[in-house]
Each structure stands twice: as structure tokens, then as C-alpha cells.
């Protein structure tokens, strides 16, 4: 009985931590999207991007506003629906896709520099933490194991 109570308490703590981390991710992605929406030229400059013409701005808004808001929405939904761990898994994959893409680019042109390197480290740590805090069960499964 004590073992199952300890296991249950551990699972509850993991679920609360994962939910809080997902909420923080939702807030951070929402704020990043808002900053990009309000001042695209400044954000683009900080990221080392040069926006040219309608297509340049359109692509910037698609990635830095649209994709960030989608990630924020998914993370918020996952934080609220703790009984469906696949939502948190998908949010973690969205977050991990960014440093993964930068790693691919590193082979061709080098690692990101400055603030973007720090952001990449944070994204990697948060994505891995979300996977590490996953309820027991198979990764990308619909329900945790009993």
C-alpha cells in the first residue's frame, strides 16, 4: 500500500510540474509572438534577420507570430488537459523542433550566436524536461499507463 501511495504522489507531483512548465511555455511563446507582432523589425534585427518586402514580412509573421501562437495554444491546452499526455508530448516536440532545426543548420553554417544560442539552450532544456516529466507510459501515447 505504501509503495502505491508513494507512486501516486510521485505521479501527481510530476503532473503538476509538467502542467506548470507547459503554462510557462504558453506564456513565453505568447509574449514572444506579441513582441514579434508589435515590433517585427526590432525582433528580426535581434535574431539576425533582414526583412525585405511583403514576402519577407509574411514569412516572419507566419513563423514568429503564427507558429509561436500555435505552440502557445497547444501548451496551454496540454496544461489544462493533464489526462491526455499526448498533448504535452506534441508541445514538447514543437518546442524541440526549433533547436533541432538549428542543429541541422549548425552543420552547414555554424551554431547560433549570442542571445539565440541561449534561447536554443532554454528550448532544449524545456523540451527535454517536458518529456522527462511525462506521466508513465509510452511516449506519444494517448493515455498514461495504469
Q: What share of the chain is helix, strand, coil (3-state, %, to 5)?
A: 80, 0, 20
Mean pLDDT calculated for residue range 85-113:
93
Q: Which of 98, 32, 87, 24 is nearest to 65 (CA)?
A: 32
Distance, in Å, from the CA atom of 104 to the CA atom of 106, rounded to the nearest integer, reads 5
Distance, in Å, from the CA atom of 39 to the CA atom of 113, rounded to the nearest integer, reads 22
Tens digit of each residue's pLDDT (9 = 90 or more) over 37-80: 999 999 999 888 999 999 999 999 999 999 999 999 999 999 99
> Do the beta carbons of residue 114 and residue 45 sit within 8 Å?
no
Question: In this structure, what are the phi and psi dihedrals at residue 113, rounded to the nearest 5 degrees?
Answer: -120, 160
> Do the beta carbons of residue 88 and residue 140 sit within 8 Å?
no
pTM over 0.85: no
Tens digit of each residue's pLDDT (9 = 90 or more) over 101-136: 999 999 999 999 888 899 999 999 999 999 999 886
The pLDDT value recorded for residue 11 is 72
| Per-range mean pLDDT, top range of 5-14, 21-30, 130-139 | 21-30
Amino acid at each position: 500500500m505504501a509503495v502505491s501511495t508513494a507512486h501516486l504522489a510521485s505521479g501527481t507531483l510530476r503532473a503538476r510540474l509538467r502542467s506548470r512548465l507547459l503554462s510557462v511555455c504558453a506564456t513565453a511563446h505568447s509574449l514572444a509572438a506579441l513582441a514579434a507582432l508589435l515590433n517585427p523589425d526590432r525582433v528580426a534585427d535581434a535574431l539576425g534577420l533582414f526583412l525585405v518586402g511583403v514576402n519577407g514580412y509574411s514569412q516572419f509573421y507566419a513563423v514568429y507570430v503564427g507558429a509561436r501562437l500555435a505552440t502557445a495554444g497547444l501548451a496551454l491546452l496540454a496544461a489544462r488537459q493533464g489526462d491526455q499526455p499526448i498533448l504535452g508530448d506534441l508541445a514538447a516536440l514543437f518546442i524541440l523542433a526549433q533547436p533541432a532545426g538549428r542543429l541541422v543548420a549548425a552543420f552547414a553554417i555554424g551554431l547560433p550566436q549570442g542571445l539565440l544560442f541561449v534561447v536554443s539552450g532554454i528550448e532544449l532544456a524545456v523540451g527535454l524536461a517536458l518529456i522527462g516529466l511525462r506521466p508513465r507510459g509510452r511516449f506519444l501515447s494517448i493515455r498514461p499507463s495504469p
